[in-house]
Amino acid sequence: MLAPLYPSLAADEVLLVALDAVRTWRHRQPNADASRYAELDAILDAAAVGRIERQLGQDAPASLPAAVEAHHLIMNERRRALADALRVWDQVEAAAIRQVARFLPKNGASR
């Protein structure tokens, strides 16, 4: 689909771009129709899990200590990702508040 237009994109990159476009569209749909999109949500969730697992690139642990260590690494990555997302959303919210502040009266003057 996009590969002929962008030869630098590998086939799986094209699929990831397409999934991201579908995910973006899905997030714009009303939540009242959530059951209508249950199968699509399951596919998008599975793709997201697969992407996270590929990013972590962990092999299956061979022992209990290795499994515990792998779990700790995953939880640390999760905390880091959530903290990153929180910082980004904080910046977006701060920008929105600055936009509101632009329209507020200055020095206690009323409009």
- The string of DSSP codes covering 39-87 is HHHHHHHHHHHHHHHHHHTPPPPSSHHHHHHHHHHHHHHHHHHHHHHHH
- For each of the chain's 111 residues, which pLDDT tens digit applies? 444 555 555 777 888 788 889 988 988 888 777 888 889 988 888 888 888 888 888 888 999 999 999 999 999 989 998 999 999 999 999 999 999 999 999 876 655
pLDDT of 68-92, one tens digit each?
999 999 999 899 989 999 999 999 9
Q: Do the beta carbons of residue 22 and residue 42 sit within 8 Å?
A: no
Q: Are 74 and 56 in contact (CB under 8 A)?
A: yes
Reported pTM: 0.55
